[in-house]
Structure 1
Amino acid sequence: MSAELSEEEMRQALFGSSIQPVPESLPRRVEQEALAKPQPKPNPRTVAKPLSPKLRVVLRVTKEFEGDVEVFIYDANTLSTLVAEQEAKNEARKKKFRYFEVVSVKPIP
């Protein structure tokens, strides 16, 4: 066995023959038609968007002690209820609310 192989021999050894022989029983025209047909492209898979966890925090907020109460709703991108409450309270502070009470923290479907 020779120690040096040509590039084509190496490719055949690794990947097999790229041209598949056609049985002699088939007419020549069928062989040409089979080779001439383009292969259909596989349909690209539709990638589902990963669902991001969200919690909806509902607060009752006021600017003055025992003043007019407003409902403040905040959607947090987290699974932690504690973090969601803190983010909601920080957003309420940014809108100049001083007093707040947590009404509910629920996951959004």
Structure 2
Amino acid sequence: MNTGLTEQEMRNALGLDIKAEAAPEEPEQRQVSPPAAVPKPKKRASTGLRVTLRVTREFEGEESLFIHDANTLSRFDAEQLARKAAAKEKYRFFELVSIGAIGQL
């Protein structure tokens, strides 16, 4: 498979005849500045509900307000959690006053 080309002609054809004496250029030295402080996204006020109950220890006794912050989005679950928490505080009678997002009440 003789093509009749000399080694020098092949080097010229492939672009390898450039002399290696020329030193490759050094890449520019860029000054690396520290990244700008990325502002953190604002956290929501809360993802829970605040339940307010009117509670008494005795039937028709002295009433007081009981406020419970539930970490749930279900109004039903929030009310049940508030009733359980009030029962732990020895309250026996409950009346629901309000349920709303923690940031709104």
Same fold (TM over 0.5): yes
Distance 1:75 1:21 in 2: 66
Among 34, 52, 63, the alignment partner of 1:58 is: 52
RMSD: 2.3
Aligned pairs for 1:1-109 (under 5 A) are 21=25, 35=29, 38-48=31-41, 50-51=43-44, 52-109=46-103
User: Larger C-alpha radius of gyration, 1 or 2?
Assistant: 2
SS in 1 for 2:85: helix
- What are the superposed Cα offsets for residues 52-76 of structure 1, whole Å, 9 maximum, x if unpaired? 4121101000011111111101111
| TM norm structure 2 | 0.64
Structure 1: gaps (5+ residues) = 1-19, 23-30
1:107 is displaced (CA, Å) by 1.0
Distance 1:21 1:45 in 2: 35
Give the residue type in structure 2 aligned to 1:108. I
| TM norm structure 1 | 0.62
1:46 is displaced (CA, Å) by 3.0
Structure 2: gaps (5+ residues) = 1-23
Distance 2:25 2:76 in 1: 68
State the aligned residue count. Answer: 79
Percent identity over paired residues? 44
The answer to which structure has the higher helix fraction is 1
Runs of 4+ aligned residues of structure 1 deviating over 6 Å after TM superposition are none
SS in 1 for 2:52: strand
SS in 2 for 1:53: coil
